[in-house]
A and B are shown apart, each in its own frame.
Chain A
């Protein structure tokens, strides 16, 4: 594995939830306020997935805040993102839900997907690399084995922590 790929891998999170457009998510973002660091939650519907693989992968979340539509795009692997919770899977037929921008109230609803594709809540897992690698370039066998493991990108179903009621009150929403 070349150096560039290694540098990218090192920065990627080892575990990220499987996200689909239409899903309702809670994104826990670390915010620095003066000297204090706290976690802010942004809850809304994923209306677009950016690049889906690698360090630059991103997604856009839309929510209504005081009657105004707000959209934020997050980089999945950003160190500012603490956690991503999937609350609800939406049943949608489009990759980008930009039409939601023109809809309000009942028309902006998204049906819930009863039987999520690929089972229930899932998490993308990646075994972490042994990163003391200058020697690994010589050790060809090991190197390919590791690369293969990564390529397969093990997909393991993992039950999510607690079930959160849809539309639950946002505790520490943006001030």
Chain B
């Protein structure tokens, strides 16, 4: 059965282990994750558990959404996410950080930091040209195809919008779980900017890497 929780990315820091090595960790705060709905094959065509996270003013929320939360006995929340194969938890109940323990292997899904319209050097790791001696192609993309083809093929790596897409960092280790402050500390980086909402699930790759 899958475990999952929605959390806010607080930021990164480091922890000393007892042996004196330093571990880089991402701090996630999950204080307001609730079960909003259980979807079933009979009603919805598939089984899933809907989780909510964050706060939202009722008067700022569309009326149908307010009703949806009301059904679960909850105040409106900011984010809704579905989790498959999570059993049938009680609707309206709280999902706490205690579902994870140190040593667990998890996947973290979030929206990566947006980089805007990025050139080929940043976006596709192209090499840059010389920066001096009159060079005028420092960050130019270079050739985009042969003259013979008389066109540019699809899929050529070019400049364009980068980041701000859903990404999953897989196979990360839970270093510490703080139930008092509702924190999960995960080794390494996770997608997203500070304060963005991420989903933490037990990894589908545990034991495969």
Chain A residues within 8 Å of B, Cβ to Cβ: 2-4, 7-8, 11, 32, 55-56, 75, 77-81, 132-134
Contact = CB atoms under 8 A, between A and B. Distances in A.
Nearest to B17: A79
Contact of B183 (A3, A56, A78): A3
A3 B20 contact: no
Contact of B11 (A4, A78, A133): A4
B202 interface: no
Contacts of B180: 132, 134
Given A3-B183, A4-B27, A78 B20 contact: yes
Nearest to B12: A4
B16 A7 contact: no
A8 B19 contact: no
A8 B13 CA distance: 8
B27 A7 contact: yes
Given A2-B10, A3-B181, A78 B16 contact: yes
A133 B20 contact: no
A35 to B, nearest CB: 14
B107 interface: no
Nearest to A30: B20
Interface in B139-184: 180-183
Interface string B89-115: 000000000000000000000000000
A90 to B, nearest CB: 27
Contacts of B182: 134
A81 B18 CA distance: 11
B29 A3 contact: yes
B131 interface: no
Nearest to B180: A134
B181 A134 contact: yes
Name the 10 nearest CB pairs between A and B, nearest first: A80-B20, A78-B20, A4-B11, A4-B13, A134-B181, A3-B10, A79-B16, A7-B13, A11-B16, A3-B27
Given A4-B27, A132-B180, A134-B180, A75 B22 contact: yes
B181 A56 contact: no
Interface in B5-35: 10-16, 18-20, 22, 27, 29
B102 to A, nearest CB: 15
Contact of A7 (B15, B19, B20, B22): B15
A79 B18 contact: yes
A55 B18 CA distance: 15
Contact of A80 (B12, B15, B19, B29): B19
Given A4-B10, A80-B20, A134-B181, A11 B27 contact: no
B181 A133 contact: yes
B19 to A, nearest CB: 7
Given A78-B20, A79-B20, A134-B180, A11 B10 contact: no
18 contacts: A3-B29, A3-B181, A4-B11, A4-B12, A7-B13, A7-B27, A7-B185, A8-B13, A11-B15, A11-B16, A55-B13, A55-B16, A56-B14, A75-B20, A77-B16, A80-B20, A81-B20, A134-B180
Interface in B26-72: 27, 29
Contacts of B13: 4, 7-8, 55
A3 B29 CA distance: 9
A173 B209 CA distance: 43
Nearest to B22: A75
Contacts of B10: 2-4
Contacts of A56: 14
